[in-house]
Amino acid sequence: MRVGLCFDGFYSIQEMIELARLADDTGMESIWMSDHLCFRDSLTTSMALLASTKRIQVAPAPMSPYSRHPIISAMSIATMEEFAPGRVIASPGTGNAAALKEAGMESPRPLKTMREYVEILRRFLRGETVNFQGEMFKINGAKMGFVPSTPIKMYLTAVRPRMLQLGGEIGDGVLLSGGCSPGYIARCVSEIQTGAERAGRSLAARDVAGFVTAAVSDDPKEAIEANKMFLAYVFRNVHHAENIRLGGGRVDQEGLAAAVGKRDWEAAKKFINDEVVLAHSVAGTPAECRRQLEAFVKGGLNLPVLLPTGTQEARKRVIRMAREVLS
């Protein structure tokens, strides 16, 4: 089984570096650094992670067209790849619409924006002089002064059907949001396949990665509680309604969104019951987590990307559990 590691940016850069080194030594394939607005920055953190490891690949995810102009994203990706050739993945995505709005940024026409953004990024990273007069972006002859020595794979972050199809059509892979249930992952894979076939490709030509929230503890109840805050953070978004339904649970998303808006995390966690946690994440003893992880792979993930929660020591245990999966 291929296994990656996700950081959500909710804890310190020093701890992320420590965990990245452990993941590198463990043999995990990649690190995906989430770009949650108001938390640790994904691009600067990704550079620190590359500098602190030897082998593992690193992906800032997502690079949003609404917060980072394509030339800025191209410059950042190319700089990281120059520093660590062959170890950088790009993951364009619209980002969290609710968080963007909180920060005063709108996110209009996401499908058109992403299609243009990916085309422009690829052209910049190939070293082309870019003249592009699109509906969302206008580029007037800009050209990178240096280009990556190796091709950069692009995984579109997606959760909704039409964006999943677009990822299957134009991406090298697709990255699914954290909190997706195995049933919803299977639905996503079907949409990705539709997009891949539209481009004359097979599903096998598109990698499917996805964040899987994970907590390991000898006390299963403690592990379940550890996953509730992150699930509360992502499930406030209305586009997760179908995902929650396919997971078999119920969440008052309106009440949850109000609690998260106030940053009242204790209140927010109360909207996520134990059954929802077990349907949308892995939580329990190491043996239980390994068994639960198989359901996400059977749902269609080629690359489960573990997002460790809990205490600092508990997060290390998630990586050690991955070592047993990889052995």
Q: CATH number, domain at 34?
A: 3.20.20.30
Give the tokens for residue 98: 């609710």
Radius of gyration of the chain (CA): 19
Q: Where are the alpha helices (DSSP H) in 27-136?
A: 42-52, 70-83, 97-102, 110-125
Domain count within the chain: 1
Q: Per the domain annotation, does 242 fall within a domain?
A: no
> What is the spatial distance between Cα 324 and Cα 314, in angstroms, rounded to a whole number?
16
Q: Per the domain annotation, does 255 fall within a domain?
A: no
Residues 6+ apart with CB under 8 A from 283: 214, 215, 220, 223, 224, 226, 227, 277, 289, 292
pLDDT band at 327, cuts 50/70/90? low
318 touches 216 (CB < 8 A) = yes
pLDDT band at 238, cuts 50/70/90? confident
Strands 155-158 and 138-142: unpaired
Q: List the helix and strand counts (H, then E) for the chain.
A: 14, 10
> What is the spatial distance between Cα 183 and Cα 279, in angstroms, rounded to a whole number?
9
Once rounded to an integer, what is the mean pLDDT over residues 35-39?
Answer: 89
Q: Per the domain annotation, does 226 fall within a domain?
A: no
Instruction: Encode pLDDT of 134-146 as tens digits.
Output: 999 999 999 999 9
Once rounded to an integer, what is the mean pLDDT over residues 45-68?
Answer: 97
Instruction: Encode pLDDT of 269-308 as tens digits.
Output: 999 999 999 999 999 999 999 999 999 999 999 999 999 9
Of 255, 246, 213, 249, which is closest to residue 230 (Cα–Cα)?
213
Phi, psi values for residue 157, rounded to 5°:
-80, 135
Q: How much is the pTM?
A: 0.93
Q: Per the domain annotation, does 151 fall within a domain?
A: yes
Q: Per the domain annotation, does 275 fall within a domain?
A: no
**On the CB side of 178, how many CA atoms lie within 13 Å of its CA?**
35
Average pLDDT, the chain: 95
Residue 96's pLDDT is what?
79
Task: Check whether 239 has a pLDDT greater than 90.
Answer: no
Once rounded to an integer, what is the mean pLDDT over residues 84-100?
Answer: 91
> What is the spatial distance between Cα 234 and Cα 225, in angstroms, rounded to a whole number?
16
Q: Per the domain annotation, does 253 fall within a domain?
A: no
Residue 323's pLDDT is what?
83
Instruction: Encode pLDDT of 178-200 as tens digits.
Output: 999 999 999 999 999 999 999 99
Once rounded to an integer, what is the mean pLDDT over residues 116-123?
Answer: 98
Q: Per the domain annotation, does 272 fall within a domain?
A: no
Task: Check whether 254 has a pLDDT greater than 80.
Answer: yes
Q: Per the domain annotation, does 235 fall within a domain?
A: no
Task: Provide the residue range defining the domain that includes 176.
Answer: 4-218+283-326
Task: Check whether 169 has a pLDDT greater than 90.
Answer: yes
> What is the spatial distance between Cα 167 and Cα 155, in angstroms, rounded to a whole number?
7
Instruction: Encode pLDDT of 96-110 as tens digits.
Output: 787 888 889 898 999
Give the tokens for residue 218: 């000898």
